[in-house]
């Protein structure tokens, strides 16, 4: 993906994902845009509290500290605020000393269309509609859910965990499982072990992370990735060979055979986990920040949409 921001990893983030705007959003919902605008202007010198994606953004930007001459990450802000009400957001960015200088304020309209303009590799938002639109346009995107509880994370590594089917890979195999059951899925994956899976919405983001990782030795890399999937043997072989075909390294692979993922994600120390199924996301969010990826067959029914 070409980018006017060079070879950087570009992450677009909504203001409500970066900061906790719950109070002001309630004012907007109950009293309207005028009351919301007045509230934000009156409080524009009062820093907002961190939101669900704030810790992830801090670690992403920290990657630039040892690369002053060639920053490797760019975080851009996408917001439904106007430039006027968005001043509080920029003041909060300055308060927390976040190196975020580029932003799009869309005054109430969806800002997702600027995901493409910034050539973003990833879009994090709290708005499922915007996330779906970005996914439909071919970009990695997720609705961010905060980690429950106050578990501290002293690790300096940035750790990303991904589900496989419908996230890193297409949902072609998951469709077989949904329609025909586990045995048909297993038989298909065994027969197609040497046929690479098609890429899912997060393939390009994972590839961009891998390009950053190649600049470091494996022992000193500040980024670590994990595949955390409900697959088990023999369905694991096709996944491994697909990643090999793509020439993408994954640091850890957990084939859980349907076991709940939350405890494993906590053991891995994931800063964020991406999954297409809401049940997996709800379990994971007890332990780590989680991004729901509303993509693929698991999100076709209204019961699965969130």
1-40 confidence digits (pLDDT tens): 444 556 799 999 999 999 998 888 889 888 988 998 898 9
Q: Say whether pLDDT at 305 is over 50.
A: no
Rounded to whole angstroms, the Cα distance separating 284 from 274 reads 9
What average pLDDT does this structure show over 144-153? Answer: 68
Query: pLDDT at position 4, please?
Result: 54
Which contiguous run of DSSP H or E holds residue 207? Answer: helix 203-213
Torsion of CA 29, 31, 36, 42, to 10 degrees: -140
- Enter the CATH code of domain 158-299: 3.40.50.1000
How far is residue 181's CA from residue 175's CA, in Å, rounded to a whole number? Answer: 9
Give yes or no for residue 83 having a pLDDT over 80. yes
Q: pLDDT above 70 covers what percent of the chain? A: 94
211 in Cβ contact with 146 (< 8 Å): no
pLDDT value of position 136: 93
Residues of the chain with CATH 3.40.50.1000: 158-299
pLDDT, tens digit, 9 for 90 and up, residues 93-119? 999 999 999 999 998 888 888 999 999
CB 272 within 8 A of CB 56: yes
* pLDDT score, position 2: 43
**How confident is residue 149, by pLDDT bands cut at 50, 70 and 90?**
low
Looking at CATH, the fold of the domain delimited by 9-144 is given as Rossmann fold (3.40.50)
Of 46 and 1, the structure prediction assigns the larger pLDDT to: 46
Distances (CA, A) of 124 to 52, 75, 233: 10, 11, 32
Beta-strand relationship, 272-275 and 122-125: unpaired
CA angle (57, 139, 208) in 5-degree steps? 60
The catalytically annotated residue of 163, 165, 276, 283 is 163
pLDDT of residue 45 exceeding 70, the answer is yes
Q: 41 pLDDT exceeds 70?
A: yes
Question: Phi/psi at 173 (nearest 5 deg)?
Answer: -80, -35
Q: How does the average pLDDT of the chain come out, rounded?
A: 90
| Per-residue tokens: 283 | 């379990």
Q: Is residue 99 flagged as an active site residue? A: no
Task: Report yes or no: 43 and 13 within 8 Å, Cβ to Cβ.
Answer: no
For residues 223-238, average pLDDT: 94
């Amino acid at each position: 993906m070409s980018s006017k921001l060079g070879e950087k990893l570009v992450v677009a983030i909504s203001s409500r994902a970066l900061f906790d705007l719950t109070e002001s959003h309630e004012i907007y919902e109950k009293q309207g845009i005028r009351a919301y605008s007045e509230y934000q202007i009156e409080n524009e010198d009062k820093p907002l509290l961190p939101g669900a994606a704030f810790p992830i953004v801090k670690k992403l930007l920290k990657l630039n500290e040892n690369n002053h001459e060639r920053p490797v990450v760019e975080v851009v802000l996408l917001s439904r605020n106007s430039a006027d009400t968005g001043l509080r957001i920029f003041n909060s960015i300055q308060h927390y000393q976040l190196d975020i200088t580029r932003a799009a304020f869309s005054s109430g309209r969806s800002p997702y269309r600027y995901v493409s303009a910034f050539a973003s590799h990833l879009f994090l938002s709290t708005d499922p509609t915007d996330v779906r639109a970005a996914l439909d346009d071919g970009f990695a995107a997720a609705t961010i859910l905060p980690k429950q509880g106050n578990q501290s994370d002293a690790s300096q590594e940035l750790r990303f965990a991904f589900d496989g089917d419908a996230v890193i890979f297409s949902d072609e195999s998951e469709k077989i499982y949904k329609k025909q059951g586990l045995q048909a899925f297993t038989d298909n994956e065994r027969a197609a072990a040497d046929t690479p899976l098609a890429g899912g919405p997060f393939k390009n983001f994972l590839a961009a992370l891998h390009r950053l990782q190649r600049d470091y030795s494996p022992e000193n890399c500040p980024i670590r990735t994990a595949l955390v999937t409900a697959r088990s043997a023999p369905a694991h072989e096709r996944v491994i060979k697909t990643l090999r075909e793509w020439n993408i390294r994954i640091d850890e692979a957990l084939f859980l055979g349907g076991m709940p993922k939350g405890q494993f994600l906590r053991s891995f120390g994931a800063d964020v986990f991406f999954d297409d199924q809401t049940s997996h996301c709800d379990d994971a969010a007890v332990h780590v920040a989680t991004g729901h990826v509303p993509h693929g067959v698991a999100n076709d029914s209204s019961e699965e949409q969130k």
